[in-house]
Amino acid sequence: MALKGLDIFKLSPKKNCKECGSPTCMAFSMKVAQGAVSIDACPYFSEDAKAAMSEATAPPMKTIKVGTGESEYTLGGETVLFRHEKTFVSKTRYAVAVCSCMDDAEIDAKLAAIPAVDYDRISERMFVEMIYVNYSADASTEKYVELVKKAAGLNRVLILGCEDPEAAKAALAVCKDSKPVLNGATPANYEAMNAVAAEAGVVLGVIGANNDELFDNVAALEKLGNKNMLINACTDSVKSAFATAVQFRKAAIKDSNRTCGYPSIVNVAKLAKGDAHMQAALASVFTMKYGSIVVMEQMGYAEALPLYGMRQNLFTDPQKPMKVEPGIYPINGGDENSICLTTVDFALTYFVVSGELERSGVPCNLIINDAGGLSVLTSWAAGKFSSSSIAKFFQEQEIEGKIKCRKLCIPGKVAVLKGELEAKMPGWEIIVAPREAVQLVKFLKDMQ
Amino acid sequence: MPFTAKSGKFNASINTLTIGTGDKAITLGGENVLPFYTFDAPIENAPKVGIEITDGGMENEPECIQKCYEGCTTVVDMAKAAAAMEGVEFLSLRLEGGDPNGLNKSTEELVQIVKDVAAAVDLPLVVCGCKNVEKDAELLSKAAEALDGRNALLLAAKEENYKTVGAAAGLAYKQVVGAESSVDINLAKQLNVLLSQLGVNGQSIAMNIGTASAGYGFEYVISTMDRIKAAALSQNDATLQMPIITPVASEVWGVKEAVASEADMPEWGPAEERGIDMEIETAAADLVSGSNAVILRHPASVVTISKLIKELV
Ligand code: B12
Ligand code: SF4
């Protein structure tokens, strides 16, 4: 939250000595408030005043780091409630849950399924970044530690779901270097858990039965000096989980309530145990509404494909369209004699279309137009993907000199361009391709 | 010291809009808080879930949807089957067959289907066009006439045909008018203003602000809805206080993730599960962004989304 000039003036030395280059302390304070000069330009601000100011200007929501090396993730640090105000900065991360209450076969099956989902979508790797390892009091600490070791083998960030300080200590002894999260500080055990987390140097997850208890528990841990925490959305009902996720984020950002300003964990595996479709729905809800980590019972392709796509959309910068360079992209060893297809320079469109072309195995040239980084129909509606713009682009890029084949496939959604293109690009055979890229494989194979 | 949150209750609210008649009628809107923010103030009218059928024939539908309507031979059979499914609160009939570049069925033929469906089910009805603006102008106007007295929603009037659709649906037959724009707050507002200038009562308009599937430009849908709700509630902008209805199904059942066969994409697993989750996750995101109603196609999605809504409200 930005400090007002008047607030800074109240803390200023009020000497009006001009050493800072400003005529008065008041003028200086105003400039500091605007970010025009640094507070350090005045030699006389007291340390206490500076400390008070840095506290007041600290971001409303803490940035917390978990994991190490390639598996290090930043959580939180958000400054707004809605993405059109400013880009959301820390993506929601997904965890799959295992438990020491499961038998070995179940555990092995769960762990084996985790790496199965791993793919690229527009230059972003999509996979399960975390594993939630739940401790059950009904199983021994040894079994829990073995499970933690096994899970650690997958090189994901571990979240130790454990409310027993002794078991937590034993588990941390085998994994603390990978900077896991210790998730289990309740109002009953928070002092002991705080000591365990502090000793291992890991982030502590805080739990409360309801928002009041959660808030008090965070405050109590802050009093013990801990600022390295995650908060758990309540798990008694979907409604209260939603209330924690939204209300804490709102209180931190709107009301500068710093005790609420920690990233969150939402355990949808608990909220909708055994109901995979409901978990998919909730994962979507809590990606949209402020979950920093979402824990699920499983993450297969069915859940993942829409979820990761949604996350990628939500966390893009509203100011920057995702574009690719216009030009000729040979695919499957395409050369000057290979068939041409054309589309727009919107990164998503390129990604989808080139993926299907690769899958077809047919050598071809994908010609990407300069269409302002918009999708096919959007750019067509905006006049940026028209017969004139395509013909002009082909001329500018001297495509006819580079490619001998004169067959050009256009996206089915702009089939209306066929006639005009034939008129503007003599010599070319204009072929209307299917509407959806997914139909390209069959289309190209049938054509051969 | 307990947690104290400032209330996010607004002085303005979303319009209340009823679709259908009798016991089965549904009411959308009325809330004075952001979507599902029940901690700020109670939400009286939970968002509603509808199921979509089309006249376009089963061949074009994904296999899993065909399975749900096994044994149905006519659109009326499908309508009855759909209306009996768990969680379904309204029925949406898409007149796909009207598309001049497709089956190009006549308006008379389609309006007869509308009448037959209306006679067979007592749920609130939504009639969607074929997406061709000229044909829809005629089709939706005639459908509005055929449904006189049913308080149906005609989806939708667009900038290109709002005069015809608005006059028939909104003025002549007092139905609910859908206003469809392309994912942009200014376009949504402009169309509402134009319809009002035509004489359509703002209280009987529902907006389709446009939608996308999860992963396909959905960020624009989110921001458009976020901004519309902000304008409607915090700035009391009466030209944006119409409830939002989102046809999720017609978007999601076209994308690769939902339709590619398992044979094509073996590592992705069964297509049906992918389609359902694409529909569920997109609908859930639409709802938390501000949709007051969603239109879905798979019965399993309807069950899950209506359960989600119950748990959140
Ligand atoms: C997000 C969006 C926007 C975003 C733009 C984001 C972007 N980067 O493009 C914003 C909000 C900016 C926008 C603006 C506009 N939009 Co817009 N927008 C959409 C939306 C919701 C999704 C588009 C998208 O991302 N699609 C995903 C990409 C991957 O699709 P795609 O490029 O078409 O690619 C697919 C296929 O075409 C195919 N394909 C692509 N290339 C090729 C090539 C070959 C050879 C083959 C075989 C296949 C193929 O593969 C892909 C997957 O199958 C659509 C509605 C919708 N649900 O589709 C409307 C839509 C495209 N917009 C529309 C309109 C009218 C506009 C505006 C003109 C509105 C206005 N009057 O201001 C403006 C124009 C922008 C401008 N002036 O700069 C209309 C177009 C209507 C029409 N039929 O012409 C649509 C369809 C909405 C609607 N129903 O009215 N829009
Ligand atoms: S240097 Fe410090 S004390 Fe002197 S005028 Fe500037 S702000 Fe005031």
pTM over 0.90: yes
The reply to whether A39 falls in a domain is: yes
**Interface membership of A306 toward B (CB under 8 Å):** yes
The dihedral region occupied by B198, where left means phi > 0, alpha psi between -120 and 50, and beta the remainder, is: alpha
- Nearest atom in ligand 2 to the alpha carbon of residue A28 is 7
| Contact map slice: B 209-248 vs A, CB within 8 A | 213-219, 222-223, 226-227, 230
**Interface membership of A200 toward B (CB under 8 Å):** no
Q: What is the mean pLDDT of chain A?
A: 94
Q: In a mutagenesis test of the A interface, which of B185, B277, B288 is the best target, namely the one with the most A β-carbons within 10 Å?
A: B277
Chain-chain contact of A288 with B289 (C-beta, under 8 angstroms): yes
Q: Ligand 2 in contact with A12 (CB < 6 A)?
A: yes
pLDDT digits (tens, 9 = 90+) for A218-250: 999 999 999 999 999 999 999 999 999 999 999
In this prediction, residue B3 carries a pLDDT of 87
CA distance B278 to B280: 6
Domain that holds residue A155: 63-314
| CA torsion through residues B193, B199, B202, B205, sign | negative
Q: What is the mean pLDDT of chain B?
A: 96
Q: Which of A227, A231, A203 is nearest to A74 (CA)?
A: A203
In this prediction, residue B65 carries a pLDDT of 94
* Residue burial A231-251, b: 16+ Cβ < 10 Å; e: rest: bbbbbeebbbbbbbbbbbbbb
Do residues A47 and A68 share a domain? no
Q: Is the pLDDT of residue B72 over 60?
A: yes
If you write DSSP's letter for every residue of A82-127 in order, what string do you get?
A: STTTS---S--EEEEEEETTS-HHHHHHHHHHGGG-EEEETTEEEE
CA distance B206 to chain A (A): 23
Q: Does domain B19-27+34-312 have CATH number 3.10.450.50?
A: no
Distances (CA, A) of A15 to A26, A46, A111: 10, 13, 66
Do residues A181 and A79 share a domain? yes
Give residue B1's pLDDT band: very low, low, confident or very high (50, 70, 90).
low
CA distance B257 to chain A (A): 7
Chain-chain contact of A212 with B3 (C-beta, under 8 angstroms): yes
From chain B, the residues in CB contact with A281 under 8 A are 280-281, 283-284, 304-305, 308
Do residues A228 and A285 share a domain? yes
Question: CATH code at A181?
Answer: 3.20.20.20
Chain-chain contact of A243 with B39 (C-beta, under 8 angstroms): yes
Q: Is residue A265 helix, strand or coil?
A: strand
Do residues A204 and A99 share a domain? yes
Out of B268, B280, B312, whose CB is closest to A239? B312
Give residue B310's pLDDT band: very low, low, confident or very high (50, 70, 90).
very high
The reply to whether A15 falls in a domain is: yes
- Nearest atom in ligand 2 to the alpha carbon of residue A41 is 1
Q: What's the A379 CA to ligand 1 centre distance in angstroms?
A: 7
Give the ligand whose atoms come closest to the C-alpha of residue A27.
2
In this prediction, residue A330 carries a pLDDT of 96
Q: Is the pLDDT of residue A1 over 60?
A: no
Of A270, A292, A314, the domain-final residue: A314
Do residues A103 and A23 share a domain? no
The reply to whether A321 falls in a domain is: no
Structure tokens at A78: 């958000």
If you write DSSP's letter for every residue of A68-89 in order, what string do you get?
A: -GGG-EEEE----SSTTTS---
Q: What's the A374 CA to ligand 1 centre distance in angstroms?
A: 7
Do residues A171 and A277 share a domain? yes
In this prediction, residue A32 carries a pLDDT of 85
Question: CATH code at A46?
Answer: 1.10.15.40
Q: Ligand 2 in contact with A28 (CB < 6 A)?
A: yes
Do residues A35 and A101 share a domain? no
Radius of gyration, CA atoms only, chain B: 19
Element containing residue A55 per DSSP (H, E): helix A47-57
Do residues A191 and A334 share a domain? no
Angle in degrees, 0-180, between the axes of helices A165-175 and A190-200, rounded to the nearest 10: 10
Do residues A95 and A20 share a domain? no
Q: What's the A440 CA to ligand 2 centre distance in angstroms?
A: 70
Do residues A82 and A213 share a domain? yes
CA distance A266 to chain B (A): 15
pLDDT digits (tens, 9 = 90+) for B148-201: 999 999 999 999 999 999 999 999 999 999 999 999 999 999 999 999 999 999
* Residue burial A424-447, b: 16+ Cβ < 10 Å; e: rest: bbeebebeebbebbbebbebbeee
In this prediction, residue A448 carries a pLDDT of 80
Q: Is the pLDDT of residue A34 over 90?
A: no
In this prediction, residue A2 carries a pLDDT of 59
Q: Is the pLDDT of residue A404 over 60?
A: yes
Do residues A205 and A354 share a domain? no
pLDDT digits (tens, 9 = 90+) for B11-49: 999 999 999 999 999 999 999 999 999 999 999 999 999
Q: Is the pLDDT of residue B289 over 70?
A: yes
Q: Is the pLDDT of residue B305 over 60?
A: yes
Residue that has been written with the tokens 């609160």 in this structure = B89
From chain A, the residues in CB contact with B37 under 8 A are 246
Q: Which amino acid is at A8?
A: I
The dihedral region occupied by B149, where left means phi > 0, alpha psi between -120 and 50, and beta the remainder, is: left
Do residues A147 and A209 share a domain? yes
Q: Is the pLDDT of residue A114 over 70?
A: yes
CA-CA-CA-CA dihedral for B244, B249, B251, B253, to nearest 10: 170
The reply to whether A150 falls in a domain is: yes
Give residue A69's pLDDT band: very low, low, confident or very high (50, 70, 90).
very high
What strands lie across the sheet with A327-331, from one edge to the other? A327-331, A364-368, A339-343, A407-410, A429-432
CA-CA-CA-CA dihedral for B243, B249, B252, B256, to nearest 10: -170
pLDDT digits (tens, 9 = 90+) for A183-202: 999 999 999 999 999 999 99
Q: What's the A52 CA to ligand 2 centre distance in angstroms?
A: 18
- Looking at the 3D structure of chain A, how many domains does it have? 3
Give the mean pLDDT of A288-307: 98
DSSP single-letter state for residue A130: E
pLDDT digits (tens, 9 = 90+) for B82-137: 999 999 999 999 999 999 988 999 999 999 999 999 999 999 999 999 999 999 99
